[in-house]
Chains A and B, each alone.
Chain A
């Protein structure tokens, strides 16, 4: 009897094991191969399986976006490119494909000009991903500590002077990169923007069906989410216009 139970458990274990053996990396390799062969639909299901396991990286989203683009599902391609872009803001390929996919969308929105300092800082922040900034922060922090020790304990005036200067510079880098790392992380975690998936959706002046239609959005347009109320969400366009659209009409990035 105990033997039988043991066998049953081993069997269950083996099946679970084989299921888990669908290792994400293997799925991705398979999907890459399917994509190369032009079987985009199959590639998508494999990539999505990895995403479904709660795993991510910029390349995964980028490849998934490419596969969606190939089957002409532009909103899905855009949302995946956006996700990849958030995770790896300095990747040229992601930016290129995102821009190309955006040319397939209907809505042309004039982007409000940003204050040059803000865009400068944003550009600087997008040099590296959140994780890279975190590594830079910890490295510079360690150096600052070492330099403080040098400053404090060295007998040589020259060494102390240089140590002080470099330490001040590095502590600035430390603070900046830590702030950038956290702000990039927040951008991803907060998911404050979305991509319209409904072919056409009209933005209302208030969060109910009776509200006046303000403007019409088409699939693939990126909007900023301002606040949700019930089944509706207030969105802000890149040109500054605001309106209410149903929550079912978009997907968060």
Chain B
């Protein structure tokens, strides 16, 4: 039951689709010669309820419209396809030269009005051959064996005469003929040196089309189509295409009645060689960004990761999809900058590219596989892909989104294995670049100004020297002043003491005890004062004792000094007139002074 319903539904749907897909197509050769008869056909895929042909004013209608119908039913793997065609045919004759158009025909199918395509037909002057043929079909035609080159030739046609490296060029190999062709023999296709070539699928059978070339009508067939991607910048030459053609020509040898009757047509062979074609290939501009990998055309990119969270030592795949048209197959893989600590494997490339006329387009998928070896949050920076845009004639850089990746510690690897220590890794240097600019600036100086030769610098030296000399001079002068007096005194000390002692000895002889003690006291006191450079006013026994000790005088001598001074001072107020005592004191003073002279004189050279 269900099956039946299904079948009914299917039939219904197919009939509906049929009704929907009804088309009407007009066909006529686009070029005809003056006086030539040709067919104009309208082909419908369903029976029309009405058909309104356009008015044909520019051509003579010789016959028609005649209708014919054709039905075919195809069964492939149980699938039934039914095709119906209805054809209206006119036979027309061109009567005037020029370009004429035939308006669209209108038909009504199942109540829907459909329109055919409009046609334009060019009528050219009839060539000599045709006229001759028409007038005198049996009489002389160029002999079939030596067919002129313009009757039958092959050519390679490119859609561009100049292109950038990597810009697709469509090259078509065509055959032009004005004679009947019986077949092709060996063909030698060009090698396209300097190009990367891709054949575009064309129809298996060569279909001829009438084309007007410089007022001559040729039947033109496309043998093969290629899409060429230039690989280097220079004038590239496409080497010629060679083909051996078997064509039909008028027989030259037999004149028998039968031959005449059968048309006298014979097959001939001719080797055809196309004219060389050259294309000027331009270099891409120099300012290519680093992420340019040779892609030319128009693209889009999309980058995805298969996971955003994974454990260490698990693989993550970044899939980069490049979609667009151009030389995608030749473009290299853009670089994906994985964070440090990811182990990279070679990227896997796969492409799905359709080559059609004009361009090749499709998708290229590149899979980058990486294994993180350490845990943490990472971000795979945006993938950059640069291509050369042919319309803008400039480089375009595309950036994908940044892809965050969280890497967790793989606990399973750690369990059961004791980690005794971390393996040390060398610091990895990933890139090399200059160090950053200095942000703190020292003082700007005029060019070629140096401290060492500046006036101020030399001036400071002069000042230093002057200060040095001035200090030297002043200090030594001060010293001199200070020392002059004491030196004189010191030098004279002994003399004065000797003088006083002499005086004392005179007094001793005169038994003038008072004077004697005074002189001794004066001699000793004055001597030490002069020798020690102590002003008389500051003189006292303590000070003298201290100074003497400082200058290395024996303690015994100092005691002796004090004793003599005491004796003298005592005697001055209570003079002891003992002659022998005075004599001894004189002797003691004399020895003491000479002792002092020795010690103090020596000490002087050690000081300062």
Interface, chain A (partner B; CB < 8 A): 24-25, 28, 32, 35-36, 50, 54-60, 62-63, 66-67, 69-70, 93, 96-97, 100-101, 130-131, 133-135, 137-138, 141-142, 145, 148-149, 152-153, 155, 178, 181-182, 185, 188-189
Contacts of B472 in A (CB 8 A): 149, 152
Q: A182: nearest residue on chain B (CB-CB)?
A: B452
Q: Is B424 close to A, CB under 8 A? A: no
Do A130 and B448 contact each other (CB < 8 Å), given the known contacts A32-B437, A62-B437? no
Contacts of B446 in A (CB 8 A): 54-56
Q: How far apart sit A70 and B467, CA to CA, in the bound complex (Å)?
A: 54
Q: How far apart sit A158 and B460, CA to CA, in the bound complex (Å)?
A: 31
Contacts of B4 in A (CB 8 A): none
A134 adjacent to B464 (CB under 8 Å): no
Could you say which of A67, A134, A142 contacts B451, with CB atoms under 8 Å apart? A134
Could you say which of B434, B440, B445, B476 contacts A100, with CB atoms under 8 Å apart? B434
Contacts of A32 in B (CB 8 A): 437, 439
Q: Is B427 close to A, CB under 8 A? A: no
A149 adjacent to B471 (CB under 8 Å): yes
Interchain nearest-CB distance for A187 vs B (Å): 11
B445 adjacent to A55 (CB under 8 Å): yes
Q: B454: nearest residue on chain A (CB-CB)?
A: A134
Do A131 and B450 contact each other (CB < 8 Å), given the known contacts A35-B437, A149-B471? yes
Q: Is B184 close to A, CB under 8 A? A: no
Contacts of B432 in A (CB 8 A): 100
Interchain nearest-CB distance for B464 vs A (Å): 6
14 contacts across the A-B interface (CB closer than 8 A): A28-B441, A66-B436, A66-B437, A67-B437, A93-B438, A100-B432, A131-B452, A148-B468, A153-B476, A153-B479, A178-B452, A181-B450, A181-B452, A185-B452
Q: How far apart sit A186 and B105, CA to CA, in the bound complex (Å)?
A: 98
**Which of B435, B452, B453, B607 has its CB near the most chain A CB atoms (within 10 A)?**
B452
Which residues of B408-460 have CB atoms within 8 Å of chain A's CB atoms?
Answer: 432-448, 450-453, 457, 460
Q: B475: nearest residue on chain A (CB-CB)?
A: A153
Contacts of B435 in A (CB 8 A): 66, 93, 96-97
A141 adjacent to B461 (CB under 8 Å): yes
Do A145 and B453 contact each other (CB < 8 Å), given the known contacts A58-B442, A63-B438? no
Contacts of B442 in A (CB 8 A): 57-59
Q: Is B488 close to A, CB under 8 A? A: no
B448 adjacent to A138 (CB under 8 Å): no
How many pairs of A and B residues are in contact by the CB < 8 Å rule?
101
A66 adjacent to B434 (CB under 8 Å): yes
List the 10 closest A-B pairs by CB distance, nearest first. Answer: A155-B608, A59-B438, A134-B451, A134-B452, A63-B437, A55-B444, A181-B452, A145-B468, A185-B450, A131-B451
Q: Is B465 close to A, CB under 8 A? A: yes
B607 adjacent to A155 (CB under 8 Å): yes
Contacts of B436 in A (CB 8 A): 66
Q: How far apart sit A63 and B444, CA to CA, in the bound complex (Å)?
A: 14
Q: A181: nearest residue on chain B (CB-CB)?
A: B452
B437 adjacent to A55 (CB under 8 Å): no
Q: How far apart sit A149 and B464, CA to CA, in the bound complex (Å)?
A: 12
Q: How far apart sit A35 and B437, CA to CA, in the bound complex (Å)?
A: 8
Q: How far apart sit A66 and B436, CA to CA, in the bound complex (Å)?
A: 8
Given contacts A66-B434, A138-B461, 12 further A-B contacts (CB under 8 A): A24-B444, A55-B444, A55-B446, A56-B447, A58-B442, A59-B440, A60-B441, A62-B438, A131-B452, A141-B461, A141-B464, A149-B472
Contacts of A67 in B (CB 8 A): 437
Q: A132: nearest residue on chain B (CB-CB)?
A: B451
Could you say which of B438, B447, B460, B461 contacts A55, with CB atoms under 8 Å apart? B447
A188 adjacent to B434 (CB under 8 Å): no
Contacts of B443 in A (CB 8 A): 57
B464 adjacent to A59 (CB under 8 Å): no
Q: How far apart sit A54 and B457, CA to CA, in the bound complex (Å)?
A: 21
Contacts of A35 in B (CB 8 A): 437
Contacts of A58 in B (CB 8 A): 442
Q: Per-position contact with A for B486-501: 1 when CB-CB < 8 Å, else 0? A: 0000000000000000
Q: B453: nearest residue on chain A (CB-CB)?
A: A185
Interchain nearest-CB distance for B369 vs A (Å): 33
Q: A149: nearest residue on chain B (CB-CB)?
A: B471
Contacts of B444 in A (CB 8 A): 24-25, 28, 50, 55-57, 60
Q: B479: nearest residue on chain A (CB-CB)?
A: A153
Interchain nearest-CB distance for B272 vs A (Å): 50
Q: A101: nearest residue on chain B (CB-CB)?
A: B434
Q: B433: nearest residue on chain A (CB-CB)?
A: A100
Q: How far apart sit A138 and B435, CA to CA, in the bound complex (Å)?
A: 35
Q: How far apart sit A245 and B479, CA to CA, in the bound complex (Å)?
A: 70
Q: A67: nearest residue on chain B (CB-CB)?
A: B437
Interchain nearest-CB distance for A87 vs B (Å): 9
Do A189 and B448 contact each other (CB < 8 Å), given the known contacts A148-B468, A149-B468, A155-B608? yes
Interchain nearest-CB distance for B177 vs A (Å): 56
Q: A146: nearest residue on chain B (CB-CB)?
A: B468
Q: How far apart sit A131 and B446, CA to CA, in the bound complex (Å)?
A: 13
Interchain nearest-CB distance for A232 vs B (Å): 25
Do A25 and B441 contact each other (CB < 8 Å), given the known contacts A145-B464, A153-B475, A181-B452? yes
Q: How far apart sit A101 and B432, CA to CA, in the bound complex (Å)?
A: 11
Interchain nearest-CB distance for A62 vs B (Å): 6
Interchain nearest-CB distance for B470 vs A (Å): 11
Contacts of B465 in A (CB 8 A): 145
Q: A92: nearest residue on chain B (CB-CB)?
A: B435
Do A188 and B437 contact each other (CB < 8 Å), given the known contacts A57-B443, A145-B468, A155-B607? no
Interchain nearest-CB distance for B485 vs A (Å): 18
**Which of B434, B436, B447, B607 has its CB near the most chain A CB atoms (within 10 A)?**
B434
A54 adjacent to B464 (CB under 8 Å): no
Q: A130: nearest residue on chain B (CB-CB)?
A: B450
Contacts of A178 in B (CB 8 A): 452
Q: How far apart sit A137 and B443, CA to CA, in the bound complex (Å)?
A: 21
Do A135 and B451 contact each other (CB < 8 Å), given the known contacts A57-B444, A145-B468, A148-B468? yes
Interchain nearest-CB distance for B524 vs A (Å): 27
Q: B607: nearest residue on chain A (CB-CB)?
A: A155
Interchain nearest-CB distance for B36 vs A (Å): 67
B447 adjacent to A138 (CB under 8 Å): no
Q: How far apart sit A152 and B472, CA to CA, in the bound complex (Å)?
A: 9
A130 adjacent to B438 (CB under 8 Å): no
Contacts of A133 in B (CB 8 A): 452
Contacts of B450 in A (CB 8 A): 130-131, 134, 181, 185, 188-189
